[in-house]
Each structure stands twice: as structure tokens, then as C-alpha cells.
Amino acid sequence: MSDWPDRFHAELVRLGVPGPRARRLTEDTAAQAAETTTDPAGLFGPAHLYARHLVTELAAPVGATPPRYASGPVLLTLAGVGKRYRRRTVLSGVDLTVRGGEVAAIVGANGCGKSTLLRICAGLTRPDAGTVHRTRRVGYVPQDGGTAGWLTADEHFALFGAAAGVVPGRARSTGAHLAAKLAWRPEPGQRAQQLSGGTRQKLNLVLGELHSPDLLLLDEPYQGFDQGTYLDFWHQVHAWRDAGRAVVVVTHLLHDLGNVDHVLDLGER
């Protein structure tokens, strides 16, 4: 597509990347595509999504006014959501609206239904009452992970990338970029089952974000993280938010709440 570079450049500028930097990124991207003799759309996907990805992942300088979306489009709406398991009511009358550029936290006692609600947000569990509207591009990071022990990080990137229509080379390089943001450099040949718990959790996070979703749903995503990685994680969440994405995070850490825009407290069990 011949106007791909123009749309890519325009989106970079719209996201606040200064002109010279945006031009250089556009030229670099065109050169990368030329090297593989693939057109940019085939290699990188839609221009606006790749621009957003670059702004987030490369932390491109954003000029005087940061691209903070005070109130982006609504990406998730829950209205009157309820869920029962057998006779037990776990959730009732839950409302939540999250826009692009916002982070919401779901908090509450153990067993009050936080993970159930996040699965409902992801479309993996059907509610018994109420309505759910979500954007199409969703990334979900489950609490107990979704990795296969016998596969390497690279194989995970290629596999999850393929499921989202991302070519293997691009999925691997995006995976490596995202891993680096969490101070992790996957070792070639090392299987997921050989990773520490915290590093496996990094792999989970990277997989949830690999296809540049608009809405990220994270279920206590930092378990096993050391302090530095925990800070890297919140830095990353804020980068997603500043790129106009929406994030919903289940947490039990009250000091996390200073990092978020909305708190949905599901209370006691």
C-alpha cells in the first residue's frame, strides 16, 4: 500500500512525536520493509497500530505536550453484571466504564469475584445478568499464566503472534522489545518450565501485549516480580495509558491504587 508511510507518519505526529523524529522513524521503517522486500502493511500490520506500538515500546520522545488521552473512546462497559456459580451469587449489579487513556483497578477480598469479573471482561466467562461491551482488540493476562512449559519464549512469541495474524519475525522482534522493557532478555533454547516464576510472569505479560491490544486485562500480573521489575511494570502500564490504551488490573496491593484512575471495589466475599 503506497500511502502506508504517510498514514504511519501522520499517526506518529498525532501521538505527539516531534516532526523530525517522526520523519526519521518513518524512513527507518520503510528501509526495514525494503530490506525484506515486503510491503510495510504486510510486515508491520496497519499503519496506525504500528505507530502506536512504536510510541509505546520505544518510548519515543513526545514533545512539549505528552499524548495523554484525558478521555478517549469508551473501550469497555459493564452494566448491571451478575454471576452465580450454582446457587452462590459471586457478582451482582457491577458497573464499570473504562476509556482509552485510563487505568482501572479491581480490588476486594479473596474470593469476592475479581478474577471472575476480569474473565467476563475478556469474554471468557458469560455473565448471568447485565451487559458487556468491549473493543475488539483485547489482551488478557490470566493470574495462573497461559504458557506451555516445553516451548521457548521465542516459540511462544511466534505462536501467539500467529494467532493474532502477526508474522513470526515481527512477533519475535516485538516479543524481544517488550521483554527488554521488563529487563528480561530471553535465552535462546530455554524452555518456559526452566524460567523462574517472576520471569514466567514477564512472559505472560509480553504475550498479552504482543498484538498491540487497545484494552489490556491483567490479573495480578506482577506476582513474583522483584521491586525493580514491579516499578518497570507500572512504568509500562503508564506508557500504555499514555498511548491511549485502556488497562484493567486486578490487584490486592493498596499502594497500587495511586497509579490508577478508577477503583472498582468488589468488597467482601
Ligand X SMILES: Nc1ncnc2c1ncn2[C@@H]1O[C@H](COP(=O)(O)OP(=O)(O)OP(=O)(O)O)[C@@H](O)[C@H]1O
Interface with ligand X by CB under 6 A: which residues?
85, 90, 108, 110-116
Name beta bridge partners: 152: 191
- Nearest approach in angstroms of CB 78 to ligand X is 14
Nearer to ligand X by C-beta: 29 or 251? 251
CB of 132 to ligand X, least distance (A): 16
User: Smaller CB distance to ligand X: residue 106 or 158?
Assistant: 106
Q: How far is the CB of 149 from ligand X (least distance, A)?
A: 22
CB of 39 to ligand X, least distance (A): 45
Q: Considering beta carbons, is residue 243 or 264 the nearer one to ligand X?
A: 264
In this structure, what C-alpha cell is assigned to residue 200? Answer: 514466567
Report, in Å, the least distance between residue 104 CB and ligand X. 15
CB nearer to ligand X: pick between 9 and 114: 114
Residue ranges in the chain assigned as alpha helix (H): 4-14, 19-35, 40-44, 47-57, 114-122, 153-163, 168-181, 197-209, 227-242
Nearest-approach distance from CB 220 to ligand X, in angstroms: 7
Contacts of 127 (CB under 8 A, 6+ apart): 81, 82, 83, 91, 120
The answer to whether the CB of 249 falls within 8 A of the CB of 106 is yes
| Residue with Cβ nearer ligand X (120 or 237) | 120
**Joined grid coordinates for residue 205:** 505479560
139 three-state secondary structure: strand
Closer CB to ligand X, 16 or 113, in the complex: 113
* Cα dihedral: 50, 251, 97, 215 (round 10): 20
One DSSP character per residue, 8-27 reads HHHHHHHTT--HHHHHHHHH
